[in-house]
């Protein structure tokens, strides 16, 4: 009973916060874009707090092991995760990697990631940097592996982010990218609130950035979800997460 009252109060509070801009005269479209952006685009404010602390790490939890397997990380790797969110992947799936770096645009996410990786940061084997995927603050050929998951769909210019990932990878380095989901054949690539790429266009983007040996695979995301987030998962499509791999030529 107590849980229902707390959940109801939290939902009412979140609803009030979310609707506040409407009361200040925003159009429905502006309102929706703002809510979506603060929730998941670049988490900020109270909605972003709930999403970054609680929902996103759970929602993406089942994606991380699939990406770790695809990356095949080794202790000698130097890994960059672009749009690293709250750092769960780096902390739990790259703990054995010699050096890890994460970059994200959200203050909330950066703060969480820094706390999660505090020990590694203190020992000099991890860094978490606030910045834009379109302008990475590292010198060329810095990393042996680069990844980005659940985020590229929301980048305004994914080709710029890919060019930057290519630049900071050393020759022979690998990129492993979660780039949306399988779509029916004949689907046109489109950009609304998020990018939806067909397979040929996703592959083309990565090849155009200079990567070679580009391959595209699909994985069904199956987690052990429980509670409201589990319910949310069951209501969304989780079959066919697209993983694109590429190598920077040596």
Nearer to ligand SAM, 6 or 118 (CB): 118
Residue 133 near residue 161, CB atoms below 8 Å: yes
Nearer to ligand SAM, 18 or 221 (CB): 221
CB count, 10 Å around CB of 227? 8
Q: How far is the CB of 91 from ligand SAM (least distance, A)?
A: 11
* CA angle in degrees (0–180, nearest 5) for 220-68-183: 30
Residue 40 near residue 56, CB atoms below 8 Å: yes
The reply on whether position 158 binds ligand SAM by CB under 6 A is no
Binding residue (CB under 6 A) for ligand SAM from 90, 91, 97, 105: 105
What residues contact residue 143 under an 8 Å CB cut-off, 6+ apart? 78, 79, 80, 101, 168, 169, 170, 173
Residues 190, 41, 83, 218, CA torsion sign: negative
Q: Name the closest residue to ligand SAM (Cβ).
A: 85
Contact range with ligand SAM by CB under 6 A, out of 8-16, 103-111, 115-123, 234-242: 103-111
Separation of CA 159 from chain center: 16
The reply on whether position 106 binds ligand SAM by CB under 6 A is yes
The reply on whether position 154 binds ligand SAM by CB under 6 A is yes
The reply on whether position 150 binds ligand SAM by CB under 6 A is yes
The reply on whether position 43 binds ligand SAM by CB under 6 A is yes
The footprint of ligand SAM (CB under 6 A) covers: 40-43, 56, 60, 83-85, 88, 103-106, 109, 132-134, 149-151, 154-155
């Amino acid at each position: 009973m107590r849980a229902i009252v707390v959940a109801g109060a939290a939902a009412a509070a979140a609803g009030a916060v979310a609707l506040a801009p409407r009361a200040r005269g925003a159009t429905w479209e502006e309102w929706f874009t703002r809510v979506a952006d603060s929730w998941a685009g670049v988490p900020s404010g109270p909605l972003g707090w709930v999403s970054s602390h609680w929902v996103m790490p759970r929602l993406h939890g089942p994606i991380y092991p699939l990406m770790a397997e695809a990356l095949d990380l080794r202790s000698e790797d130097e890994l960059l995760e672009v749009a690293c969110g709250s750092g769960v992947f780096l902390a739990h799936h790259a703990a054995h990697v010699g050096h890890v770096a994460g970059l994200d645009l959200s203050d909330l996410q950066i703060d969480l990631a820094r706390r999660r990786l505090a020990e590694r940061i203190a020992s000099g084997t991890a860094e978490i940097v606030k910045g834009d995927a379109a302008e990475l603050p590292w010198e060329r050929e810095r990393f042996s592996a680069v990844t980005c998951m659940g985020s590229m769909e929301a980048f305004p210019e994914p080709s710029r982010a890919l060019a930057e990932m290519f630049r900071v990878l050393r020759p022979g380095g690998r990129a492993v990218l979660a780039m949306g989901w399988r779509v029916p054949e004949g689907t046109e690539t489109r950009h609304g609130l998020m990018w939806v790429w067909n397979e040929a266009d996703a592959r083309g983007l990565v090849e155009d950035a200079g990567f070679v040996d580009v391959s595209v695979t699909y994985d069904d995301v199956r987690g052990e979800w429980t509670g409201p987030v589990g319910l949310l998962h069951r209501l969304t499509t989780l079959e066919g997460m697209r993983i694109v791999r590429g190598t920077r030529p040596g």
